[in-house]
């Protein structure tokens, strides 16, 4: 039997914060600032956003590896942060995150309509996040009350390795019964999430204006001038270059036209791994 590449997409794997909910991806970033603060170590919101998309323990470890933050930690505790210290911060992060997740749970404007349109096109809706399962349970519950239910959800601690490894994206492929990774699209607002999709062999779509990279509320985004928006798109596009997304769009609202374009490319025999 010969291999035949798919002619149409079968599934979209969506990130959560910054992609479908929490326009500026504030829920995770602000809690990192607060969790470190409770240990007497100052971390700025900009610093907290740097490794966004990773699993939360790995995110904290990455922050602690940054020379400036490591120096602050050493000044407070007399030693550089160990893995045990990272776990202690993580254990404080978790209840704070669960407690405050509802403050940033609103569905991104237009997302429900787009997801409905994708379903009408016959696509399954997978999802994954850098949140662990305990937090995801709350996120999923809140999203359901707001009208969003994904076909499958994979938390970062439900696989051996979180982003930028491909395990979460591939777990969606298995659970949704997809027969070819080339028939899937990964949509994310972070470079680890785009690398996840790339390594899983999927088409990838990076979001430039919702989510972590821009870091604004929806209203703040809408108030940007055309010149400011152009500068931000350029800056964020450069941030994503290394992860090689197939597409860059502002928000999930722009996704349907990308889906149509990918379907046209698949019909011509193109596959994401070769692009």
Within 25-123, residue ranges assigned H as helices are 26-37, 45-49, 56-65, 67-77, 83-100, 111-120
CB 63 within 8 A of CB 94: no
Q: Tell me whether residue 199 is one of the annotated catalytic residues.
A: no
Q: Tell me whether residue 58 is one of the annotated catalytic residues.
A: no
pLDDT of amino acid 123? 98
- Set 22, 56, 58, 199: catalytic member: 56
For the chain, which residues make up each domain, given as ranges?
A: 11-26+104-274, 27-103
pLDDT of amino acid 274? 93
CATH architecture of the region 27-103: Orthogonal Bundle (1.10)
Helix (H) or strand (E) holding 214: none
- Set 15, 22, 85, 188: catalytic member: 15
Q: Which CATH number fits domain 11-26+104-274: 3.40.50.1000, 3.90.700.10, 3.40.50.300, 3.40.50.1820?
A: 3.40.50.1000
Residue 28's contacts (CB-CB under 8 Å, 6 or more residues apart) are 17, 52, 56, 59, 97, 130, 131
pLDDT of amino acid 31? 85
pLDDT of amino acid 151? 98
Q: Structure tokens of 95?
A: 């209840």
CB 251 within 8 A of CB 207: yes
The total number of residues shown for the chain amounts to 275
**How many angstroms separate the Cα of 254 from the Cα of each of 112, 171, 207, 251, 257?**
13, 26, 9, 6, 6
CB 45 within 8 A of CB 24: no
pLDDT by 10s per residue, the chain, length 275: 899 999 999 999 999 999 999 999 988 888 888 889 999 999 998 898 888 788 899 999 999 999 999 999 999 999 999 999 999 999 998 898 888 888 889 999 999 999 999 999 999 999 999 999 999 999 999 999 999 999 999 999 999 999 999 999 999 999 999 999 999 999 999 999 999 999 999 999 999 999 989 999 999 999 999 999 999 999 999 999 999 999 999 999 999 999 999 999 999 999 999 99
């Amino acid at each position: 039997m010969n291999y035949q590449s798919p002619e149409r997409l079968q599934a979209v794997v969506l990130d959560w914060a910054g992609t479908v909910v929490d326009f500026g991806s504030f829920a995770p970033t602000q809690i990192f600032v607060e969790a470190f603060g409770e240990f007497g170590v100052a971390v700025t919101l900009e610093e907290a956003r740097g490794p966004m998309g990773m699993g939360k323990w790995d995110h904290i470890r990455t922050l602690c590896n940054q020379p400036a933050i490591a120096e602050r930690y050493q000044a407070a505790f007399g030693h550089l942060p160990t893995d045990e210290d990272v776990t202690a911060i993580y254990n404080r992060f978790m209840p704070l995150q669960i407690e405050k997740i509802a403050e940033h749970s609103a569905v991104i404007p237009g997302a429900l309509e787009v997801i409905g349109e994708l379903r009408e096109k016959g696509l399954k809706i997978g999802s994954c996040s850098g949140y662990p399962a305990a937090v995801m349970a709350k996120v999923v519950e809140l999203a359901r009350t707001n009208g969003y239910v994904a076909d499958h959800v994979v938390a970062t601690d439900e696989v051996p390795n979180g982003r930028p490894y491909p395990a979460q994206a591939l777990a969606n492929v298995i659970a949704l019964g997809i027969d070819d990774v080339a028939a899937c699209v990964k949509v994310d607002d972070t470079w680890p999430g785009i690398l996840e999709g790339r390594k899983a062999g999927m088409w990838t779509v990076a979001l430039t204006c919702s989510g972590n990279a821009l870091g604004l509320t929806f209203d703040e985004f809408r108030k940007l001038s055309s010149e400011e928006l152009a500068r931000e798109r350029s800056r964020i596009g450069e941030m994503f270059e290394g992860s090689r997304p197939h597409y860059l769009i502002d928000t999930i609202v722009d996704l349907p036209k990308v889906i149509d374009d990918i379907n046209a490319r698949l019909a011509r025999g193109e596959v994401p791994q070769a692009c």
